[in-house]
């Protein structure tokens, strides 16, 4: 029986760089990686340069390595690349101990992580980019009209508008009667 050959889909080039056993907790590194996912390489470099977290320096090195891999091995232009995926996996935990009172021991867990960044050429992967929260909030308000918080607004009467607001005063009452007698 002869099999019909299916046309092979043209695969997009993908470049990957990985840093293993970084001495940063995965949770802290994930906070930084979320900011560069889906961005172009120049945008990602700018974001990492102005991020004050220590994990940003390590992730910046991984991004630079991925760009260097793309330029050297695949002949791609670094500024035309997009961060298709960036994720942080948990590495082994280094266990240490510290002496405490009465011969006891306190455990110290030193977490490690593995950072992976995948780059693809062009703007082809921007459909997977998540909209920013501000844009999501604006989109939600445009679709639904604002509703009053406590029901329908009642028209103000003229009597309510004429009343002056009463304010509480913390001043002590004047001792005018005592000073008048003297």
What is each CA distance from 77 to 11, 17, 81, in whole angstroms?
A: 18, 16, 7
Q: Does residue 47 lie in a domain region?
A: yes
pLDDT value at position 122? 85
Instruction: Indicate which CATH number applies to the domain containing 72.
Output: 3.90.470.10
For helices 41-49 and 26-36, angle between their N-to-C axes, nearest 10 degrees: 130
Q: Considering Cα of 53, then 85, then 68, then 17, what sign does the dihedral take?
A: positive
Name which of 60, 55, 66 is nearest 23 in CA terms: 55
**Per-residue pLDDT, 105:** 97
Is 110 among the domain residues? yes
Residue 83 falls within a domain, yes or no? yes
Would you state the pLDDT for residue 15? 96
Q: What's the pLDDT at 125?
A: 43
Domain containing residue 58: 15-122
Whether residue 9 lies inside any domain: the answer is no
Structural domain contains residue 104: yes
Amino acid 12: pLDDT: 76
When divided into structural domains, the chain yields a total of 1
In a domain, 91, yes or no: yes
With respect to residue 137, please indicate whether it lies within any of the assigned structural domains.
no
pTM for this prediction: 0.63
Q: pLDDT value at position 81?
A: 96
**Averages of pLDDT over each 10 residues, the chain, 182 residues:** 55 90 97 97 97 97 97 94 97 97 97 98 58 56 57 57 64 60 55
């Amino acid at each position: 029986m002869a099999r019909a050959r299916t046309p092979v889909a043209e695969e997009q080039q993908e470049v990957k760089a990985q840093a293993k056993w970084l001495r940063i907790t995965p949770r802290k590194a994930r906070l930084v990686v979320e900011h560069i996912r889906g961005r172009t390489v120049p945008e990602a470099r700018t974001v990492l340069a102005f991020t004050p977290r220590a994990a940003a320096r390590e992730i910046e090195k991984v991004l630079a390595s991925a760009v260097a891999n793309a330029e050297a091995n695949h002949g791609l232009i670094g500024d035309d690349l997009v961060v298709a995926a960036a994720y942080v996996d948990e590495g082994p935990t280094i266990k240490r101990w510290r002496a405490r009172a009465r011969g006891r021991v306190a455990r110290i867990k030193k977490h490690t992580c593995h950072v992976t960044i995948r780059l693809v050429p062009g703007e082809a992967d921007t459909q997977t980019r998540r909209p920013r929260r501000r844009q999501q909030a604006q989109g939600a308000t445009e679709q639904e009209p604002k509703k009053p918080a406590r029901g329908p607004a009642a028209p103000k009467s003229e009597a309510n508008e004429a009343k002056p607001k009463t304010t509480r005063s913390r001043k002590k009452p004047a001792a005018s009667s005592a000073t008048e007698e003297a």
